[in-house]
Structure 1
Amino acid sequence: MSFNIALSGLNAAQKDLDVTSNNIANVNTVGFKESRAEFVDVYAASLLSAGKTKVGDGVLTSDVAQQFSQGSIQFTNNSLDLAITGNGFFATVPELGSLETSYTRAGQFKLNADNFVVNSGGGHLLGFPVNPDGTSSSVSLSTATPVRIPTSSGAPTPSSEVDIRMNLPAGDVPPANPIFDPADPLTFNNSTSVTIFDSLGDDHIMTYYFVKTAANSWNMFTAVDDQMVNVAASAVQNPPADPLAVPPIPAYPQPTGAGARGAVLAFNPSGDFIAQSPAVIQTEQLGAGILSNGADPAQQLIIDFNLDINGPNPNEPTQFASNFEVTALKQNGLAVGRLTGIDIGNDGLVKATYSNGTSEPLARIAMVNFANEQGLTQIGGTNWKESIVSGEALAGEGGSGTFGTINSSALEQSNVNLTTELIDLISAQRNFQANSRALEVDNQLNQTILQIR
């Protein structure tokens, strides 16, 4: 019997050495979780045995228990490197359409040839669908799909409106030459321009010319790619009366110049914007003569000066005794955007930024937790599978409930403490040597007994 006891001790010591050696071998494996060999004694007793004098039958390995303590965080320069601080796992599937879900803490992700986010083993990272405002539409693992990063932001948006806010210098005088000519800077006082986009996403330069005609009145003309564009015709405007206007506000016919029709901007003696003609300043259709690249020739643009008939408004232009200054100039068109960056928040929201200045929420990385993490089945590649002992996978968002947060541009290192493992290795070695010695003594005792005559 003592042979078997010593042999069970050798087996247990060997198991302890194996577990410790495996921990040491994976000290630099991202997302690795150390294991611990757990042992129990074997106490075989029958109904008629003498329990008070029973010695025991050795030792058994009861479990190689994984330890899911937090590993240290190492920061990187790759936004697709992800680390979880706290509880939770990433969910991956081996291929599109697969339901064979694996779980991992290793966040070394990258893009494959089809722009899906995958790990080094080809596992596709799962994410929840999101609404345009970034909120999750579902946090069920059954609705999670592989996260894909598009290379463009879709179809372009043609410009339809331009908002302008500026100050026109009150001290300017009407040009000596009253005939407006965009090629002659002596025929206008100031100009500014903005980039607009056609229906194909091609960019064009829209220029605005301001010509002072009286103390509180300015003409505005516009051109696209140096070709004059008419402001849509309108009836003569009769602005509302203004008590500060001296003399009373007159009616404003639309001006003409350089073969194009323009608009009128009127101010009162306090420099406040009080009227415009026409009431809605909109260009005529740009036409194929300007949009010669095949874009929609019916494109028109509203030029919005944000006139407020109820009184001064900070969004309106002004006419003060200062220099010409454009304080706001924006349009609502977009070119075709190309991907310039990926941003991942602590809650797992994946947002793409594009070269046209837009950003778009794409998905929210799925987080998964289990009632018993130590019950997960190891399948290699720093991956685990759900088991009966672990319980069902519980999905959720990063930073909510018991789920940890997600750190972008970071990796969770192995939680193996090398110093502790080396000490355990020495202890396991001594244990092995002691059991070997016990086996040797048992052998000597047997030899002595067999040699008795």
Structure 2
Amino acid sequence: MGIYGAINSAVSGLTAQAQALENISGNVSNSQTTGYKRLDTSFSDLVAGGGTRQADQVSGTTYATSRATNTVQGDISASDVDTYMAISGDGYFVVTSAADVVDGQTTFQDASYYTRAGDFELDDSNYMVNASGYYLKGFKLDPTTGNAVGDAPSVIQISDQPLAASATTLIDYQANLPRVPDTTDYDDSDEDTALLGAALAGANISSANESTFLDQSITGGSTTVYNQNGTAMNVEVRWAKTLNADAGVPQDDTWALYVSSGGNDPAWLEVGTVNFTSSGVMQTLTAGANGTVNTGGNGFDIATLTVGDVTASNIEFSLAGGSLTQFSDPTGVATSVAVDQDGYAAGELEGISIDESGRINASYSNNQTRSLYRIPLATFDAEQNLKRVDGAAFAATPDSGEADLTGGGTISAKSLELSNADIASEFSKLIVTQQAYSANSRVVTSAQGMLDDALNMIR
């Protein structure tokens, strides 16, 4: 090849180093780009002809190729934005781009792209969009089962519709009732004065007898329940230990359960009675004027309950799991009281958050939370062969394979993955590239001088 071969090799070196410089320049400029994956440069040689043995060959030219660093994790930085996300481990967020706006509604491209840039925020249409304009895709979740609806992810749009009210169907009750209740009219001398009089026992309590009833019963807590349209009702509970109306003697282990009617007449509604063993364990239940024993024998069913001017239907008052006991207690009041119910009023959307499993959870003003979407992570058999597109994103290619949405790493909420391009490292590569470029240019200069000498020989 001689001098001309040397010039050719040096020029290829200049071209290769120029490409390396371009990669370095791009990496430096994107050192603060969220989710950016730097491009390194690999050099390969092209062997020149000249013989079948290395001894007969000479060094050939070189060429540069870009080397992807998609598998190199960037640092994860905490953020105070609820919708920001970072991926720890493998995978990409599945995104797409807007196509057009039709009748005020955004339409989207059919193609999917993949990115590690998780700086998503809600736009004015409640789509989750990152700083590069990509719209996040996910699996919509069934509100009842929590399972994904369909096999293909769709563009995520958070509904701002109110969460519908849910009527109370179950009241879970827990308490320990004392053996001797400390009622208002109890004087510590005669236990009979702590019991509900025979004239009041076994029925609803009228407004005329309410004062006497309150003096002969103890409070059992209260809770707010909701009817079918979400209207709140304050349900107060009282317990009264009853007299045996036939024998005229106390029923030491029997309590009557009452709930308030909220100022109506009758003032207190009898739900039923509960009988305990001598060891304080709930034994048998008996239906009252406003309740029937449920099928499990561990609570009461209330078909209709009116408190004030609000009516609810079909409420179970559950005493399951040994939650109601009668153990001796010197205080004479109900202890360990806990009243929980399963209904709630309608609620307005207050915000969203993302958990480690990639579920988008909506929080409502009624203290309810609902999982709306699951964010999948796309993995590829050969992710180094993904095609780079604008906005720190990638497109699948035949060489990368199709996206697999069943695996991937974990999602860190309120975090961002930073660029994996380190300025210090890039500057080190810049020095080496600059020196190599200068050396190749020196070879061209030297070869030119040698050609000049050869031409001068014949002058």
> So what's the TM-score if we normalise by structure 2?
0.76
Structure 1: which 5+ residue stretches go unaligned?
Answer: 230-256, 292-296, 308-312, 398-402
- Fraction of identical pairs, as percent: 25
In the other structure, the counterpart of 1:377 is 387
User: Which has the larger displacement, 354-363 or 69-78?
Assistant: 354-363
Aligned to 1:169: 178
Give the number of equivalent residue pairs: 403
Separation (CA, whole Å) in 1 of partners of 2:307 and 2:260:
15
Please give the residue correspondences for 1:193-208 in structure 2 after superposition, counting only pairs within 5 Å: 193-208=222-237
Deviation at 1:183, TM superposition (A): 10
Runs (5+) with no aligned partner, structure 2: 99-106, 182-193, 201-207, 244-249, 294-299
SS at the partner of 1:394? coil
Q: Which residue of 2 aligns with 1:314?
A: 322
- Whether the 8 Å CA contact 1:180–1:188 is kept in 2: the answer is no
Deviates more, 1:268-277 or 1:426-435: 268-277
Structure-2 residue corresponding to 1:67: 69
1:260-409 mapped onto 2 (5 Å cutoff): 261-268=269-276, 270=278, 271-273=280-282, 274-278=284-288, 279-280=292-293, 281=300, 285=304, 290-291=309-310, 299-302=312-315, 304-306=317-319, 314-318=322-326, 320-322=328-330, 323-340=333-350, 342-397=352-407, 403-409=408-414
**Counterpart in the other structure of 1:105:** 116
Compute the RMSD of aligned alpha carbons: 3.4
The answer (yes or no) to whether the contact 2:378–2:403 under 8 Å persists in 1 is yes
Is this contact kept in 1: 2:96–2:111, CA < 8 A? yes
Change (3 A) 1:213 1:22: same
How far apart in 2 are the matches of 1:349 and 1:404? 14
Q: Report how far residue 153 of structure 1 moved.
A: 6.2
Compute the TM-score of the two structures, normalised by the length of structure 1: 0.77
Distance 1:379 1:183, change over 3 A: farther
Aligned partner of 1:122 among 124, 128, 133: 133
Contact 1:267–1:319 under 8 Å retained in 2: no
1:11 aligns with 15
User: Which shifted more, 280-289 or 187-196?
Assistant: 280-289
Distance 1:262 1:153, change over 3 A: same
- Aligned twin of 2:85: 82
CA distance in 2 between partners of 1:100 and 1:185 (Å):
71
Secondary structure at 1:180 match in 2: helix
User: Aligned partners of 1:320 and 1:157: how far apart in 2?
Assistant: 38
Q: How many angstroms apart in 2 are the aligned matches of 1:338 and 1:414?
A: 38
Say if 1:305 and 1:316, in contact at 8 Å, map to a contact too: no
Change (3 A) 1:420 1:282: closer
TM-aligned CA deviation for residue 119 of structure 1: 1.4
Quote the residue 2:204 is aligned against.
none
- The one-character-per-residue Cα deviations of 1:355-377 (angstroms, maximum 9, x if unpaired) are 43433332221221222222111
Pair 303,13 (structure 1): closer, same or farther in 2 beyond 3 Å:
closer
Q: Equivalent residue for 1:227?
A: 263
